[in-house]
Structure 1
Amino acid sequence: MKLATFMKNENERLAVQIGDQLIDVEETAKQNNWNEILNDVMQVIELDQSGLEELEAKVNEAVSNGSAVVVAEEGLVWGPCVTRPRKIICVGLNYRKHADETNAPYPEVPILFNKFDNTLTGHLSEIPVPVVTNELDYEVELGIVIGKKTKNVTQEKALSHVFGYCTVNDLSARDLQMRTPQWLLGKTCDKFSPVGPYLVTSDEVGDPNNLILKTYVNDELRQNSNTSDMIFSCAEIVSYISRHMTLEPGDLILTGTPEGVVFGLPADERIYIQPGDVVTVEIEKLGKLTNKFVQESGKALTYA
């Protein structure tokens, strides 16, 4: 299934993409007198396999018999396809060619850092360029969404604990990121993790380490790689993290970015994201995520 979140009356609503139609799950459930009404993607992530199959069958049946309620995409406000992850865990320097372009050694173990839910936003959301940075960079990344409680899972079984995958832009303010050895500040400004449009269940994705991923800035191709270039595979990442902390359903893992970021260019060639720019990140089977950047209101403060 392809799941999505959209906003209606300032509330997050659950949708399922069937062909070229986006189906409002709650209204379709009411229309067809379903016993259970789901209105949140986090509820779906908690379902077991039989529950997922039942939901998919009901939505498909409603589409087939004409009783599904279709969401009009014109003027639609998309939400993040994962709305309330308890943890957002990121992997740094996880692509060989990206490490090469930044002259960084390949890590011996995954480099982990975290983001917070203030960074989440959706497809077509306008993102303010913070006044505190002059070096805002894009990073297309494969997002892993955990589907079941996971602790000390082996690499062989790790992917069976994954609910699905999504496209993410791990926005990074490089001047803030490199100000100290800790990267957090440059990664956690508001709306720095657009995610979506879709959360695609793992059965539709297949091998997550064989997906093309790209970034376009104002229609110019900037990143063009494949998840096969990861230093640590998705299975290795999930297994490694689970050895150190318990992963919960809905937890979001960002698996690193490939080569082609602004920071990887010679210093005199770096042109960072500016207000007015439109950035699209795309991953095979998962869809395109587009955001326009605008100037943040206010002015930077000087601290003594």
Structure 2
Amino acid sequence: MRIALFNDYRIGSVNGSRVADITEVVDTRWHGTPYVINEFIAHWDQINPSISAAMDRADTHELAGVRLLPPVPRPGQILAAPANYRAHVSEMTGSRHRPANAQALLSPREVGFFVKSPGSVSGPSDAIELPPIPGRSFHHEVELGVVIGKPARGISRERAREHIFGYLVLLDMTMRTDGEHQEERTMRKSFETFTPIGPFLVTADEIADPTALRLRLWVNDELRQDADTADLIVGVDELIERASAVVTLQPGDIYATGTPDGVGPVEAGDTVRAGIDGLGEMSIPVTERGW
């Protein structure tokens, strides 16, 4: 199932160019709030049998005529894997954007995960807004985003997919420096609009193998990133296993699995287009922040 969140936090089932409004399957107290999708995910087992009937009664809209919101606008947690593609490790090791005294780039197997602020989430209809900070550049990173469906605490990698609700396209925008001073990673990646997600949330049953998906990103139609999740150093199942040994993962939490090589700068006026096989594609303008 391809799920869209649209207009005033309506939940839609996407079929081709049409979206059917199935918000009614969630308790009305959550309607019109960004948490409606969290409730949808958390109660999926109870909701799923009623979706077919809801679709028969649903108002439908042209997908092109609605405003797509981030599919999960209020995740409780955003966890992210550092240095999870070998080619990206190689390109960043000698990058001028890494201070000479920076820690060596290590995979999630050695160093675990970092976090991004949930307030950085934006959607496929929102611009990436670059803050006016002298001496800094801003880089794109396309990633597979994993959305948790059931609470996960201390689970094995063999059971990890039982706790995954679905997948989405995610951009991990990053502020970088050319000098020796570098702000904390969480801050550099947590500016508002620095985690665009979308265009849809695709349920796990639609994706046979999350470690066999092609990721691509273009800036102004120039292909910058082109890789496959088969190249992940630490795969989806192990990432969930390791994270769940640290903190209980909850429905609606997002795990960003890492970016491949080809990261590079964007500037106001650019357009970033990113897509992953089976998950859709987003095209997002880059602007200067107005505040």
Same fold per superposition (TM over 0.5): yes
Name the structure 1 match of 2:113.
Answer: 112
CA distance in 2, matches of 1:21, 1:218: 28
Partner in structure 2 of residue 97 of structure 1:
87
Out of 37, 41, 48, the position equivalent to 1:52 is 48
Question: In structure 1, what is the equivalent of residue 72 of structure 2?
Answer: 82
Shift in Å, 1:285: 0.6
Shift of 1:120: 0.9
**Alignment match, 2:280:** 287
Question: CA 1:128/1:176 → structure 2, altered by over 3 Å: closer, same or farther?
Answer: farther
Aligned residues: 274
1:183 aligned residue: 185
- Cα-to-partner distance string for 1:100-153 (whole Å, 9 max, x where unaligned): 221265434254111112211111312211101631111101101111111010
CA–CA separation in structure 2 for the residues paired with 1:293 and 1:158 = 36
Q: Distance in 2 between matches of 1:35 and 1:234?
A: 29
| Structure ID, larger Rg | 1
Match for 1:25 among 15, 22, 27? 22
CA contact (8 A) 1:143 1:167 kept: yes
Measured after TM superposition, the shift of residue 50 of structure 1 is 5.0
Distance in 1 (alpha carbons) for counterparts of 2:179 and 2:215: 24
Aligned partners of 1:94 and 1:110 also within 8 Å:
no
Q: Aligned equivalents of 2:250 and 2:27: distance in 1?
A: 23
Query: Residue 130 of structure 2 aligns with which residue?
Result: 129
Number of the residue aligned with 1:202: 204
Q: Which residue number in structure 1 is paired with residue 12 of structure 2?
A: 15
Q: Could you tell me how far 1:74 is from its partner in structure 2?
A: 4.0
Matches of 2:12 and 2:112, distance apart in 1: 34
Structure 2 gap segments, 5+ residues each: 94-103
| 1:193 and 2:195 matched | yes
Which SS does the other structure have where 2:259 is aligned?
coil
| Identical aligned residues as a percent | 31
On the 8 A contact 1:127/1:292 being kept in 2, the answer is yes
Residue 75 to residue 50, structure 1, CA distance change in 2 (3 Å): closer
CA RMSD of aligned residues (A): 2.2
Letter in 2 for 1:141: E
The structure-2 alpha-carbon separation of the partners of 1:52 and 1:110, relative to structure 1 and needing over 3 Å to count, comes to farther
- Using a 3 Å threshold, how does the CA distance of structure 1 residues 85 and 166 change in structure 2: closer, same or farther? same
Instruction: Tell me, in whole angstroms, the C-alpha distance in 2 between the residues paired with 1:138 and 1:202.
Output: 26
Q: Deviations over 1:36-86 (max 9, x none)?
A: 66842212101243532431x2245x1xxxx43122444532211112211
Point out 4+ residue stretches in structure 1 off by more than 4 angstroms: 34-39
Distance 1:23 1:225 in 2: 33
Q: Secondary structure at the match of 2:187?
A: helix
Aligned to 1:301: none
Segments of structure 1 that go 5 or more residues without pairing to the other structure are: 263-271, 299-304
Structure 1 residue 25, shift from structure 2 partner:
1.8
Structure 1 counterpart SS, 2:161: helix
Quick check: 155-164 or 122-131, which moved more? 122-131
- Mark the CA change 1:110 to 1:212 in structure 2 (over 3 Å): closer, same or farther: farther
User: CA separation in 2, counterparts of 1:228 and 1:110?
Assistant: 21
How does the TM-score come out when normalised to structure 2? Answer: 0.87
* Rounded Cα–Cα distance in structure 2 between residues aligned with 1:201 and 1:79: 17
Query: Retained in 2: the 8 A contact 1:110–1:237?
Result: no
